[in-house]
Every structure is written in C-alpha cells, then in structure tokens.
Amino acid sequence: MDVDAAPAPAAAAAAEPKKAIKKNVEILASYKYQQDEELSALPQSTIDEFYKKHTIEITGDLKLRPILEFKQAGLPDNILEVVKNFSNPTPIQAATWPITLSGRDIVGIAETGSGKTLAFTIPGLVHIAAKLKKGKKSGKPSMLVVSPTRELAMQSAEQAEAAGKAVGVTSICVYGGVDKQPQRRAFQRGVDIVVATPGRLIDLINEGTCDLTEVSFMVLDEADRMLDDGFENDIRSIMSYSPKDRQTLMFSATWPESIRKLASDFLNNPMRVTIGSPDLAASQNVQQIVKVIENPRDKERHLLDLLKKVHKSRTNRVLIFALYKKEAIRVERSLEYHGYKVVGIHGDKNQQQRTEALSSFKDGSYPLMIATDVAARGLDIPDVEYVINLTFPLTIEAYVHRIGRTGRGGKKGVAYTFFTPEDKSHSGELINVLKQANMEVPEELMAFGTTVKKKTHSAYGAFYKDTGGEVKKATKIVFD
C-alpha cells in the first residue's frame, strides 16, 4: 500500500492493522500497549498544541495520542529505568512510540539529534522482552538496525548495549574496516540485537555467519543517506533475508521518491510521522554567522583569529569542517603547531584512529576536531558549542547537516561559516536558509546574488542539477 494513500474508510481501517501486525500481536501478547488514562483525559487542545509546537504531522489510520511523559508509555519497570535520566520524550519518541508499541510499521521523518535512536531502541527492547517471555530464545538476532556509516552504527550500538542490559539482551555492532573474527565469534555465542552497516552485514550473511531468519523487528536508520551512498541493492538484499511479517521501522531525514518506493515495497500499511517543516531549515537553536572572505588563502588566518575568541578557554568543544582530506590534514597540523589540542576525522583514518579521535573529542581531552563531511551526518556529540565551516560544503543540505552538530538537545549553539567568491554559486541557497531562520544576511553575501548557477568543479564535475533561476525549496532537513 502506498504510504501516501488517504486514510481508509472506518471499516477497512479497523481490519487493515490486524493484517499488518498479525505476528507482532502474537509476539507482544505479554505486552499490550494501551493508551494511558491520564493521557486520554487531556483536552484535545493540549494535544493540538503539542503537535503545533513541534510541527508534528501523522499520516495513517491509527489514532493514538503522543506520549507526553515517560510514565504514560506503560513501559515495563526495567525498561523505564533506561530513560530515568531524561525529563520527557522527545517529539519523535512521543509521536512514534504509541504506534511502534502497537506493532505497526512506521516511517519516521526526522533529523539526527532528534532522539530517534531511543525512538526505535525502546520499542525494540519491549519487542524482544515479550518475545523472550514466550520462550523464543534461539541465539539468532531478533532485532536488526541497519545504518549508513560506521560512526552512526557504533553510536546506535552503544545505546542498544547500555539499554539492553536492563532486560538482559545482548547486542553486536557490525561494520567493515576491522577483523571479522570477533564478529563471527559473537554470532556463534548468540546475539539478540545486531547494529550493522550494509556492506559488512552482506558479507557475513553470504558466508553463513549471520542468520536473519528470526529477525522480527527491523530498523533502517537514515535510509535516505544509505540510498544516496548507493546501498539500495544491499538494503533490498538484507530485507529479503528476513521474514516478510517482521515489524519494520524506517527513519529518514527526507521524503524523496526513492524512499517512498522503498517504504511501499517493504513496509506493511505503515504510519508516517514527520517532525518539523517540510522545507529545508536549520535549527532555531543555532545562531548562524557568515563571514565573507575575499581571498580563500586568508581562511586559516581568520580561523586562528576566531579560535582566540570562541576557544579562549581551550576546553570547550569546537567542531571545524573542511571540504577535502588534504585540507583537514594540513589544518590539523597547523592547529597543533599553534598549541591547540586537536584531532581529525576523515577518509584516510582507519577505523581504530577514527574511533579514538571521536572518543577523545567526546570526553574533552581533545576539545578541537577538524572533520570532512564523512562526520557531518550521524554523529551525536553532546555539548558542541561552536561549529566552524572553514570551507563551504558541496551542497546546501550538507551545510544544514554540518551546523546541526551544535544546538542539540534543546541547547543553544553557534555556527560560523567562511564564504569566499569560490562559493558564490551557493549564495542564493545560503541566503534562503539564513532568512528562514531569521538570521542576519551580510551585505557582502547578498552581493553574490540570490540565484543558483551551474558550476563545474575540477574534481567533482557538474554536481549542480539546477542551471539557474530562483532558489528552489529543498526537501525537508530539520534539526529538532
């Protein structure tokens, strides 16, 4: 069924969900989601205000109210313990949990940093716990999370492992660039949750190490990123190795035709939850400051001057983005020469080096990080105070992803961007994003114009689809 289809008539709507969740109803027999009485008693105006405040849109035939407080979720006590240090569910958790806990397939349109990892991890734990109560411990994985990058997979796996201890479930993170043998041994011992990147997972499936025949809860995280990175065939293969009557959750930052087709092919009568505006937008929690620099060779001097201002304590976290690996390496060495404690993350780093760099940045022992766009999406690093775009990215979407590394979890952040004449083909799109966020637009930036012109890059070729005209509104990318 097309997820864009209009809600079915009442009689059909009552019948369709039963088909969609026939196996999951059996699995969840020991846990049945029922809307909390206190939640049901709230006036509709309270619910409407919540939807309006967080720009939430829900499409589908299941009419359940969002969970405004954790106690309203009816979670088992041991799983409720997992969220004890959080005040309330994030919008994506509030809106999706009632649907997911009811056994339904779902498409969640929300950006990284919105709390979507727990949005799928908590229902997954409930699912596994209910399955184990029925005596279905087989050693084969019950839950599979597929992620586009090693970093995102590792972050999701960390949360799955920490949360899984509450209910006695085991997990493994599977990704390339490391020895397969420890991963093979983990599968031999038996595992409940697998978090994986597509390539390595396919390898382990093909060699017979990983068996997905017992997977009844599957998550495709950042599905649009996986399609953009060319993993569509791998995803389709992975889906084909798992039972068709599994429960499937798909999370994406955008809702293009390719994602709609994937959802239509593999999800059963899914609900769709969208958090945020359908237009390209930067977080209102991020102050955007654009500095136009006439000579690109002056950028590193301006960077050093800026760090004296924003990194005076030498302890606060600052994330700097470069466009190329060579640029990142050069700037990292320059900052080290000037006495800064800095780490880098880019394609030339092996997995161990990337992991160590991320850890040292997260724990604050190296509070400066220089990264290429390999790190722009999927990283959830708390308390990044400043983002600095040393070189403007190839697309405006990448710009929004970059600056979304700060201002997370409701906190405020600041993003500085160096903009040169070499970047002028992006001026119209950048002006559009700044205006939508009610940010100041420098006169020097306005001077570059508000149209988008085709540009051919010496290394990347003609990577712009538009050859001119007014700035188009792009697909939704919103940081909650």
> Torsion-angle region of residue 81: left (phi > 0), alpha (psi -120 to 50) or beta?
alpha
Give CA 408 to chain center in angstroms.
Answer: 12
Alpha helices in 299-391 (DSSP H): 299-310, 325-337, 351-362
Strand 271-275 with 56-59, pairing: antiparallel
The pLDDT assigned to 114 comes to 75
Give me 64's structure tokens.
Answer: 């359940």
Last residue of a domain, one of 275, 301, 325: 275
The pLDDT assigned to 460 comes to 34
State whether 216 and 311 are in the same domain: no
Q: Is the pLDDT of residue 15 over 80?
A: no
State whether 344 and 255 are in the same domain: no
Separation CA 62–CA 81 (nearest Å)? 28
**What number of residues does the chain have?**
480
State whether 232 and 291 are in the same domain: no
User: Of 470 and 270, which is predicted with more confidence?
Assistant: 270
Separation CA 252–CA 223 (nearest Å)? 5
Last residue of a domain, one of 209, 240, 275: 275
Whether 473 is in a domain gets the answer no
The pLDDT assigned to 21 comes to 41
Helix, strand, or coil here: 359? helix
Please check whether residue 255 is in contact with residue 157, taking contact to mean a CB–CB distance below 8 angstroms: no
CA distances from 467 to 253, 304, 425, 453, 464 (A): 25, 36, 10, 5, 7
Q: Which domain holds residue 245?
A: 10-275
State whether 134 and 21 are in the same domain: yes
Separation CA 158–CA 82 (nearest Å)? 13
Separation CA 350–CA 370 (nearest Å)? 16
State whether 389 and 442 are in the same domain: yes
| Mean pLDDT, the chain, whole residue set | 84
Domain count, the chain: 2
State whether 263 and 352 are in the same domain: no
Separation CA 254–CA 278 (nearest Å)? 9
State whether 244 and 388 are in the same domain: no
Whether 468 is in a domain gets the answer no
Whether 3 is in a domain gets the answer no
Separation CA 453–CA 462 (nearest Å)? 11
pTM of the model: 0.69
- For the segment 124-148, the average pLDDT, to the nearest whole number, is 88
> Of the given ranges (30-39, 56-65, 151-160, 445-454), which has the lowest mean pLDDT?
445-454
- For the segment 303-327, the average pLDDT, to the nearest whole number, is 95
Whether 254 is in a domain gets the answer yes
Span between the terminal Cα atoms of the chain, in Å: 29
CATH number for 297 = 3.40.50.300
Q: Is the pLDDT of residue 10 over 60?
A: no
Share of the chain above pLDDT 90, in %: 60
Q: Which residues pair with 414 in a beta bridge?
A: 287, 386
Whether 238 is in a domain gets the answer yes
Last residue of a domain, one of 275, 302, 336: 275
The pLDDT assigned to 136 comes to 61
- For residue 97, the one-letter residue type is W
State whether 290 and 241 are in the same domain: no
State whether 404 and 362 are in the same domain: yes
State whether 26 and 126 are in the same domain: yes
State whether 51 and 130 are in the same domain: yes
Place of tokens 């106690």: 71
Strand 342-345 with 171-174, pairing: unpaired
Kindly report, residue by residue over 439-473, the tens digit of the pLDDT: 999 999 999 988 754 443 333 333 333 333 333 33
Virtual torsion, Cα 2, 147, 156, 270, nearest 10 deg: 10
State whether 253 and 361 are in the same domain: no
Kindly report, residue by residue over 222-266, the tens digit of the pLDDT: 898 888 778 999 999 999 999 999 999 999 877 888 889 999 999
Whether 474 is in a domain gets the answer no
- For residue 417, the one-letter residue type is T
Query: DSSP of 78-126, one letter per residue?
Result: HHHGGGTT-SS--HHHHHHHHHHHTT--EEEE--TTSSHHHHHHHHHHH
Q: What share of the chain is helix, strand, coil (3-state, %, to 5)?
A: 45, 15, 40
